[in-house]
Amino acid sequence: MELTCLHNKFNFPSLPHLSRPFFKNPNPRVFPRKINILFLASASDTVVASSIKELGSKKDDEFGDLKSWMHRNGLPRCKVVLNESTSHDEKHMPVQYVVASDDLPAGDVAFSVPNSLVVTLERVLGNETVAELLTTNKLSELACLALYLMYEKKQGKKSFWYPYIRELDRQRGRGQLAVESPLLWSEEELAYLTGSPTKAEVLERAEGIKREYDELDTVWFMAGSLFQQYPYDIPTEAFPFEIFKQAFVAVQSCVVHLQKVPLAQRFALVPLGPPLLAYRSNCKAMLSAVNGAVELVVDRACKAGEPIVVWCGPQPNSKLLINYGFVDDDNSYDRLVVEAALNTEDPQYQDKRLVVQRNGKLSVQVFHVYAGKEKEAVFDMLPYLRLGYVSDPSEMQSVLSSQGPVCPVSPCMDRAVRDQLADYFNRRLAGYLTTLNEDESLLSDPNLNPRRRVATELVRLEKKILHACLQATTELIDELPDHTVSPCPAPYAPLLK
């Protein structure tokens, strides 16, 4: 199961109680009936903006819990139940999660959710051509799914999906640590990520969500019967941006990326799926489309009462935090990026560009530094950096005529290359607000704010990667002869960022 944002289908039988899908409006100029904006402001405008009072005091006995509703609507007997863990914020409902109801051997089917209880873009828009057109233009699947659930929520208990939406309200887009995505953090809380490239990723993702919000009315023109079904204003009038962002983040936290299905069924919302499932980077269990249902086969033995774990895809911890609000200390896919670029002012830039292309690299090359493989990454960078230090035209011709990424640099020049790399790692480490030791001290505090905790866990893991890179580079410097000194910086040294 790969879950994406960023990042990165089924033929559903019609249900008499299910809101009909939206087909293209034959007359998109006919505006739907508008309602008073003051009324909208008092309505439940988002999938996640509910309170304990709303969710807890009404009890909703006629619906029961999520699993009971699913059984009444076609969910066959399964081997899971829902447990609760308390929220760090007393204003919010506890987080629910799926646990095994029986002892499960590896390879056993934990549950199988029929397509009639799965939401995909094909179901939302009712027309695969329209669905694909929307998502290949300016709107993502997540934006369309978020908009659909927002309008469904406005219908309250009349919506077939009311029990599922109620559960999304309870979860509030929170991950396993009961922490929301940093997309919903305050500016002060985002400062916890200072020095981490994740902070820029969060801001960039937020800007992307705003761009999608600005395009929401496209849905009105292309699938206008949505507004015949829902007597509300067009999207940007019915929903303020902050409301849409909350709904987008909630959908992002629970969407499943199904494999080997048509495009319009690729992204699915599956009750009993995320965020009710526990994520593991070292797990192989995936939600899969099988014979008219989405099923989960466990990849390991699971005792009754233990959380059901699934694979969250090959995502680094930065993506896990942004998408799901947690980081995984045992994530073999965790990585940092080092971007190196040949200096375009170099008179020999074009020749060097040919050399790096011949060796499978680019003039602006991204190096992925994986946790536990930092030394290998440093060795991979060195030939690229050495090439930038070649200045003599005859030496450049020798490089052009040779095979492989070999550059004839002197020990002193090689010292300059390694010094540049060590300085780069030191600068990145200096950009954080805390040291590794200070991070460890913060994490030892049981009363640490959960958002601060998960941010600290992320930057701690990033610093471990950077320290390992710095150590590997320092060891390489120590291998050089004792008398080796770094000359003045090369005028056209590669750029690192």
Answer yes or no: is pLDDT of 89 > 70.
Answer: no
Answer yes or no: is pLDDT of 493 > 70.
Answer: yes
Give the confidence band of 144 by pLDDT, cuts at 50, 70, 90.
confident
> In sequence order, what are the residues at sequence separation of 6 or more whose Cβ sits closer than 8 angstroms to the Cβ of residue 197?
318, 336, 337
What's the pLDDT score for residue 122? 82
Average pLDDT over residues 467-481: 94
List of domains in the chain: 66-324 (3.90.1410.10), 335-496 (3.90.1420.10)
Half-sphere exposure of 292 (CA within 13 A, CB side): 7
Category of 272 on φ-ψ map: left (φ > 0), alpha (ψ -120 to 50) or beta: left
Q: Strand pairing of 267-269 and 119-120?
A: antiparallel
Average pLDDT over residues 465-489: 85
107 in Cβ contact with 247 (< 8 Å): no
Percent of the chain with pLDDT over 70: 76
Neighbours of 337 (CB within 10 A): 12
Greater model confidence, 125 or 266: 266
DSSP, collapsed to helix, strand or coil, labels residue 369 as strand
Answer yes or no: is pLDDT of 213 > 50.
Answer: yes
Average pLDDT over residues 175-203: 90
What's the pLDDT score for residue 135? 58
Report for 41-55, 187-201, 472-486: range of highest mean pLDDT:
187-201
Give the confidence band of 407 by pLDDT, cuts at 50, 70, 90.
low
Average pLDDT over residues 161-178: 75
Give the confidence band of 48 by pLDDT, cuts at 50, 70, 90.
low
CA distances from 303 to 4, 104, 115, 138 (A): 29, 6, 28, 45
> Phi and psi at residue 474, in whole multiples of 5°?
-65, -40
> In sequence order, what are the residues at sequence separation of 6 or more whose Cβ sits closer than 8 angstroms to the Cβ of residue 286?
1, 259, 296, 310, 311
Answer yes or no: is pLDDT of 404 > 80.
Answer: no
Greater model confidence, 280 or 343: 343
Average pLDDT, the chain: 81
Answer yes or no: is pLDDT of 302 > 80.
Answer: yes
Q: Containing H/E element for 111?
A: strand 109-114
Answer yes or no: is pLDDT of 38 > 50.
Answer: no
**What DSSP string describes 338-351?**
EEEE--TT-TTHHH
Residue 363 identity? S
In eight-state DSSP terms, residue 332 is: T
In angstroms, the CA 454 to CA 473 distance is 29
Give the confidence band of 92 by pLDDT, cuts at 50, 70, 90.
low
DSSP, collapsed to helix, strand or coil, labels residue 308 as coil
Average pLDDT over residues 107-126: 90
What's the pLDDT score for residue 490? 76
Give the confidence band of 287 by pLDDT, cuts at 50, 70, 90.
very high
**What DSSP string describes 271-305?**
TTSTTSSEEETT----EEEETTEEEEE-SS-B-TT
Answer yes or no: is pLDDT of 483 > 50.
Answer: yes
Average pLDDT over residues 300-315: 92
452 in Cβ contact with 191 (< 8 Å): no
CA angle, 383 then 386 then 391, to 5°:
140
Average pLDDT over residues 412-432: 94
Greater model confidence, 247 or 275: 247
Rg (the chain; Cα; Å): 26
Span 323-355, pLDDT tens digits: 988 899 999 999 999 999 999 999 999 999 999
What's the pLDDT score for residue 275? 82
Judged on CB neighbours under 10 Å (0-12, 13-18, 19+), 489 is exposed
pTM: 0.82
Structure tokens belonging to residue 339: 């971007």
Span 220-245, pLDDT tens digits: 666 655 555 665 678 888 889 999 99
Judged on CB neighbours under 10 Å (0-12, 13-18, 19+), 284 is middle
DSSP, collapsed to helix, strand or coil, labels residue 12 as coil
Average pLDDT over residues 467-472: 98
In angstroms, the CA 33 to CA 41 distance is 17
> In sequence order, what are the residues at sequence separation of 6 or more whose Cβ sits closer than 8 angstroms to the Cβ of residue 220?
28, 226, 227, 234, 235
What's the pLDDT score for residue 20? 38
What's the pLDDT score for residue 127? 60
What's the pLDDT score for residue 84? 81
DSSP, collapsed to helix, strand or coil, labels residue 175 as coil
What's the pLDDT score for residue 262? 86
Average pLDDT over residues 448-457: 94
